[in-house]
Amino acid sequence: MTNQVIVLGSINVDTTYRVEHFPQPGETISANDKQIAPGGKGANQAVAAARSGAHTAFIGAVGNDDDGRAMLKQLQKNYIDTQHVIIDNDHATGSALVTVEESGQNDILVYGGANQALTTTMVGSVDELLEQADFLVAQFETPQEVTVDLFRQAKAHGVITILNPAPAHSLDPALFSYTDLIIPNETEAEKLTGITVTDHSSMQATATWFRQHGIPNMMITLGKHGVFYSLFDQSGTVPAFRVKAVDTTAAGDTFVGALVAELKPDVTNIAQAITYAQQASSLAVQKHGAMPSIPYRSMIEAINS
């Protein structure tokens, strides 16, 4: 059965510079390469879900500019339903400046543009879309009040809501009531809970904190250390696949998108879905760029063939 996925999120055009090392304050360095590519956490996650076979619809905004038109074409090229992407005449399409050093680590500077100008009024009713959906995914690159409103609507339709709280900042208290599953990394988890993630007990404590505040299920992505999960009465750690990373820009987005494409709506295949998403992420970090690095299902399944 094909999962029906809605992604609420950002659409950006990424400009990536590759450098030997990150510049220090006041330092000028030379870039070894420059690349312009489609990105944005929301768009990346939607493409990852679509490339893993999910029927995917997108809710977001672009500017009435060349970047916006190009990004809409890119989403449509990946068979993503863009009927609910708003054309904003007052704000430019979002953009990101990414610096990647030789180790594969990255620094990212984001301009929100039309993403941050999105409002609940602009989105309007999406009842018809929610009636068909299994999962609704959101991040923090669009206003949280829009996420709250859509998560509230989703719960009324029995849709599983998933929050990837990235980039890290404080959480609108209303989201605690409407989020079924939260997927932070270690930094984001600490930002939200105040608990430093160092070992299994601190991860369990983080899961307990979220449960006590209303979010029953959690995963923490741990980079090269894998993924810890505590959800639907199950918990454990799924190890990462050891590969040589050249660019980690879309690793987390690829994981989330692949996960919602693979996870059954009755969540009976948690460990299997996490493993699949880890495989997808391991392929993404071996290529440069955000969206261009996201693998297709056939590539992921080939790992086990």
Q: Does 293 show up as a binding residue in the annotation?
A: yes
Q: Does 180 show up as a binding residue in the annotation?
A: no
- Please choose, from the candidates 69, 3, 64, the residue with its C-alpha nearest in 3D space to the C-alpha of residue 38: 69
Residue 291 tokens read as: 């969206």
Q: Does 95 show up as a binding residue in the annotation?
A: no
Q: Does 33 show up as a binding residue in the annotation?
A: no
- Residue partners of 228: CB distance under 8 A and separation at least 6: 200, 203, 219, 220, 222, 235, 236, 237
Q: Does 287 show up as a binding residue in the annotation?
A: yes
- Please choose, from the candidates 271, 278, 305, 294, the residue with its C-alpha nearest in 3D space to the C-alpha of residue 52: 294
Active site residue 253: yes
Q: Does 94 show up as a binding residue in the annotation?
A: no
Catalytic-labelled residue, pool 107, 149, 253, 266: 253
Tell me if 126 sits within 8 A of 86, measured CB to CB.
no
Q: Does 141 show up as a binding residue in the annotation?
A: yes
Q: Does 40 show up as a binding residue in the annotation?
A: yes
Angle of helix 200-212 versus helix 186-193 axis, rounded to 10: 50
Q: Does 247 show up as a binding residue in the annotation?
A: yes
Q: Does 12 show up as a binding residue in the annotation?
A: yes
Q: Does 85 show up as a binding residue in the annotation?
A: no
Tell me if 40 sits within 8 A of 11, measured CB to CB.
yes
Q: Does 284 show up as a binding residue in the annotation?
A: yes
Q: Does 185 show up as a binding residue in the annotation?
A: yes
The DSSP-derived string for 47-109 is: HHHHHTT-EEEEEEEEESSHHHHHHHHHHHHTT-EEEEEEEESSSPPEEEEEEEETTS-EEEE
Residues labelled catalytic = 253
Q: Which positions make up the binding site for ATP?
A: 185, 221-226, 252-253
Annotated binding site for substrate: 12-14, 40-44, 141, 253
- Residues that constitute the known binding site: 12-14, 40-44, 141, 185, 221-226, 247, 249, 252-253, 284, 287, 289, 293
The annotation places the binding site for K(+) at 247, 249, 284, 287, 289, 293
